[in-house]
Structure 1
Amino acid sequence: MSATSNDIPSDSRTVPASVDVVVVGAGFSGMYLLHRLREMNLSAVVFEAGTDVGGTWYWNRYPGARVDVESLAYSYSFSEELEQEYEWQERYPTQPEILRYAQHVADRFDLRRDIFFRTRVTAAAYDDRDETWLVRTDHGDAVTARFLVMATGCLSHSKLPEIPGLDRFTGATYHTAHWPHDDVDFTGMRVGIIGTGSSGVQSIPVIAAQAAGVTVFQRTPAYSLPARNRRLRPDEIADMKANYRAFRKAQRESGFGVPTAPATKSALEVSDEERDAAFEVAWESGSLVNLLTAFTDLAVDQEANDTAKRFIHRKIHQIVEDPRTAADLCPEYPVGTKRPCLDTDYYETYNRENVHLVNLRRTPLVEVTEKGVRTSDKEYAFDAIVYATGFDAMTGALTNVDICGRGGVSLKETWRAGPRTYLGISSAGFPNMFMITGPGSPSVLSNMVVSIEQHVDWVADAIEYLDRHGITTIEPVQQAQDAWVDHVNLISGFTLYPKANSWYMGANVPGKPQVFMPYAGGVGEYRKKCDEVAAHGYEGFSLSPKSPASPAAPAGSHRPPAG
């Protein structure tokens, strides 16, 4: 279940022994950061496990894979020339179109010459005496750097279901996060699909249109809205290009990185007719954000949220012909507290004669067998099994690298009770290490490109500030980090998010501490906080000139922020 090679030859270049910055990952974060570092005349190397750029859009090639943010908004804003020259084709582009965009950016800014592909970082250790990072790869490379930036993405460390027998099945197996580069033809096949998160919702209709039979194994249903996808009209492309600057400003100040008109009413203060009309407009718009922001209190009040839940349940029952299947597809957790989905004919697919839904709440998975999948009720025989079982989100890509900070303390051990960061950017005990869209930042609750650019700019500006002021290390003060973690938890506690067993909470990974990982205060408010920290000389960070290694905290600590 690994990606097939692109037939790109192994990299024969020599990895430099020392650089200013090591960047891990060549997705949208790593590419933009490399561009910024070059503008600052800093030496950098990027390590990427894949054979090309694109990150999530390199790996996730499953049938039907699309982004759920409109293409004209899900794009870089750092280059006005890039904005004007690139031509998007669809409202919600497919994985191939987004990958072409990433490749275009890499070509346009000549990024690949500093990226080492087919190279996975295995370990990184901070040297207290030299105040540098030693980064090691699976090829035996060892690179010393002043700064280490983990641009590894929030959804990049995939997982399989925790059931026996995964290696027993004699047919073909696929994971949506490691799809072959060549097309997979399911024509005439009996296919089992395990998982109904975003990748399952997108791939099930496409696979069902090919296969002789599809059996979907669902543990928890997803809320999904029709994407209303279509080709972009020339006039709307021209209009966006003419108004990009104002739109980008609105993105940065919005809650989700997607500008919307702010709601002014509670869902509970309007009539049933007015409420349903507003939900209907959102449903027809093909926008998740339009539904989530239709009223002021959907994210914070259970009774208000229940009105949205009942509306979506009615829609499902209207679309799905079999009453029991429709009921099984209706989620019971609050709307928006698990990742909502956009789809093309997802619910309609269950009206096909060749599609069958198995409710694992009723008949749990027991094991994978040589022939297929066994539940507590029966064994299902398949020619192929697709695992749409998601990721160890937000922390997996970080803790599965052997990262050791001051005194050899590991990040994995430091985060054993849950991730602890300051601003989602860095973690106490790990000087000069930054995370792009790490836990404690808006990240997965936002348009990722907006959050990526904000983080990359903040990190690049911080490095520039250190160099300008003769400062060698930057590291969060423990008190500031604790205050930020408390603030993130406080904000999430005002919402309904903790009521769902979601990957936002780490609930999909057995044994993972269940804490709400992203910052729920919104993209605009978060940006203000980060800007304020930088404007006050990186308040809440400890900044120090080069000095002999010492077990004591670095000198020159800035005071933690209030609140």
Structure 2
Amino acid sequence: MSVVQVQGSGAGKQATARHFDAIVIGAGVAGLYQLHRLREMGMNVRAYETGSNVGGTWYWNRYPGARFDSQAEIYQYWFSEELYKSWQPSERFPAQEETERWLNYVADKLDLKKDIRFNTRIASAHYEEAQDIWRLTTANGEQVTTQYLIACCGMLSAPITERFPGQSTFKGELYITGLWPKEPVDLKGKRVAVVGTGATGIQVIQTIAPEVGSMKIFVRTPQYVVPMKNPRYTASDWEKWGTRFHELKQRVRTTFAGFDYDFDKGAWADNTPEQRAAVMEALYEDGSLAPWLAGFPEMFVDEEVSEVVSEFVRNKMRERLKSRPDLWDLLIPQDYGFGTHRVPLENKYLEVYLQPNVEAVDCRKAPIERVVPEGLQTSDGKVHEVDVIILAVGFDAGSGALTRIDIRGRGKRSLQEEWSKEIRTSMGLQVHGYPNLFTTGAPLAPSAALCNMTTCLQQQVDWITDCIAYARKNGKKVVEATQEFEDEWVRHHDEVANATLLTKTDSWYMGSNVEGKPRRLLSYVGGAGAYHSKCDELASQGYPGFAMN
């Protein structure tokens, strides 16, 4: 670490700031690995984390029932076989508490915490063109400067908090799932309202159902759901997975979504209806995301194929709700295809609606208008009186974590202002006009949504680290994506996206859940394997499209 003089915000003023070779924002899956890689290079680096400990998503999302839906054997770091084998998950889809412990284990094993400043939010990051450095200011006023700034802020880390007017007037307890308190929340016997039935809301609903006194579930957009199969893992099981470390490491990097399964069942047209049904049945019975990411890719582009696959899943859901056909229209999607929204895994979620103390409120007929002191008021004038409100209303996905920081590049251009008009990046790795700013989990890369996160985030960290190493080796101090390269990537991204049914569906994938957000598919849908190959190609050719000087 060194001390440099940087121009302060006031005219003629100088401020003394600590200087680093690199600063990482975030201490989740990507941030921890990025810190490790840069330290390996001998760089002077520090990470900043808003939370009080490591974990990222798995630190903040501690709501009831939180667990990931990538299998434990592939939701992993791949840089160390010893690390892979030394941590034994207890089940196929571990819960939040175990995942948080795992990330702490990794951080402690690599002695990363000494270089992380916790409880510290980055408020602004401004590029100083005269010195080619970034000047960061924390929420408490501390200033630091750095040559390279790597944003590992997370793709789902900007929760929507002020969703309804009047939230502050509620006399009971109000919780936001993405900001769930560390202290235990007692819901036993209480009247609870849950707003939101996406992946998070589903996990909350199925988990708290046995203990609440009564529950009102406010349903606007029904979801296709797939039952999760979550067997326990023994030491013997994990030993077997350990023998496949190198195989799995290679496999996840080449598949469409970074999992160990892929679209390898042949073309839809080449299978008979009986063969297609058998494939769909086998994938559904796997109890994973395989029905979504390992079936027939034609369901993403062909409306007829989409309808067949969607109807298969609908029938599975109808069978579970056969005693309550009055719930079918409310809980089973009809106006969009399977897989064009995020597909949640669940455990007896639909059966919750069969409980006598549970009421489903149709928000398509009577949307929530406001929160009142007694509860929630809908457009039909009814006040739903409750003791607790749980808001599972999602995130400003992909872009929100970055636009909530005042990031200014060349000529003081504002990322927040630019992305309020059009969200664009250079492969989700850089944004033209913001030199030496690298990003992971940002828009227009698979890691923004459509990928097993550990797979895609590690790939991006490796690419960023290798790019910085290349620049240093060749005596270059500044790396910036060119306008031409960014334009080309945005055109390619949109061409691929617009050929799918995803862009015809309103979802957080398209930014539809945030009022005024520019409409563009946040995630690159050309496949993680294809994206990784393109990144490898750029690296092997000396990073064309990324100007260095």
TM-score above 0.5: yes
Quote the residue 1:42 is aligned against. 43
Quote the residue 1:358 is aligned against. 361
Offset at residue 16 of structure 1 (A): 7.2
Distance 2:354 2:303 in 1: 32
Quote the residue 1:379 is aligned against. 383
Quote the residue 1:400 is aligned against. 404
Quote the residue 1:560 is aligned against. none
Offset at residue 517 of structure 1 (A): 1.4
Distance 2:320 2:24 in 1: 47
Quote the residue 1:529 is aligned against. 534
Aligned 8 A contact 1:436 1:452 in 2: yes
Distance 2:414 2:483 in 1: 16
Offset at residue 276 of structure 1 (A): 2.7
Offset at residue 235 of structure 1 (A): 3.5
Quote the residue 1:427 is aligned against. 431
Offset at residue 472 of structure 1 (A): 0.9
Quote the residue 1:325 is aligned against. 327
Offset at residue 413 of structure 1 (A): 1.7
Distance 2:297 2:179 in 1: 39
1:477 paired with 2:477, answer no
One-letter amino acid of the counterpart of residue 330, structure 1: I
Offset at residue 266 of structure 1 (A): 4.1
Distance 1:160 1:326 in 2: 30
The C-alpha deviation readout for 1:100-139, integer Å capped at 9, x for no partner, is 0000001101111000000000000001110000011012
Distance 1:24 1:234 in 2: 36
Identity of aligned residues (%): 39
Distance 1:460 1:390 in 2: 31
Aligned 8 A contact 1:185 1:210 in 2: no
Distance 1:465 1:274 in 2: 50
Give 3-state SS (helix, strand or coil) of 1:135's partner.
strand
1:463 to 468, 480, 500: 468
2:442 to 438, 441, 460: 438
The C-alpha deviation readout for 1:493-545, integer Å capped at 9, x for no partner, is 1211101111111000001111111110111110111111111111011111x
Aligned 8 A contact 2:153 2:441 in 1: no
Aligned 8 A contact 2:88 2:235 in 1: no
Give 3-state SS (helix, strand or coil) of 1:430's partner.
coil
Quote the residue 1:148 is aligned against. 149
One-letter amino acid of the counterpart of residue 424, structure 2: R
One-letter amino acid of the counterpart of residue 518, structure 1: S
Give 3-state SS (helix, strand or coil) of 2:538's partner.
helix
Q: TM-score, normalised by structure 1?
A: 0.92
1:413 to 407, 414, 417: 417
Distance 2:102 2:465 in 1: 23
Give 3-state SS (helix, strand or coil) of 2:105's partner.
helix
Quote the residue 1:314 is aligned against. 315
Distance 1:272 1:81 in 2: 46
Unmatched 5+ residue regions in structure 2?
1-15
Aligned 8 A contact 1:60 1:95 in 2: yes
Aligned 8 A contact 2:480 2:546 in 1: yes
The C-alpha deviation readout for 1:423-451, integer Å capped at 9, x for no partner, is 11000000000001211110110000011
Aligned 8 A contact 1:52 1:58 in 2: yes
Distance 1:162 1:396 in 2: 15
2:544 to 532, 535, 539: 539
Quote the residue 1:343 is aligned against. 346
Quote the residue 1:278 is aligned against. 279
Distance 2:466 2:312 in 1: 46
Distance 2:370 2:269 in 1: 46
Q: Over the residues paired in the alignment, what is the CA RMSD in angstroms?
A: 1.4
1:520 to 515, 520, 525: 525
Distance 1:285 1:416 in 2: 41
1:172 paired with 2:173, answer yes
Q: TM-score, normalised by structure 2?
A: 0.94
Aligned 8 A contact 2:28 2:152 in 1: yes
One-letter amino acid of the counterpart of residue 275, structure 1: R
Offset at residue 376 of structure 1 (A): 2.1
Distance 2:346 2:444 in 1: 29
Quote the residue 1:388 is aligned against. 392
Distance 1:263 1:296 in 2: 9
Q: How does 1:88-127 map to 2 (within 5 A)?
A: 88-127=89-128
Give 3-state SS (helix, strand or coil) of 2:164's partner.
coil
Offset at residue 75 of structure 1 (A): 1.0
Quote the residue 1:9 is aligned against. none
The C-alpha deviation readout for 1:373-397, integer Å capped at 9, x for no partner, is 1112321100000000010000000
Offset at residue 267 of structure 1 (A): 4.0
1:84 paired with 2:85, answer yes
Distance 2:154 2:166 in 1: 30
Aligned 8 A contact 2:85 2:239 in 1: no
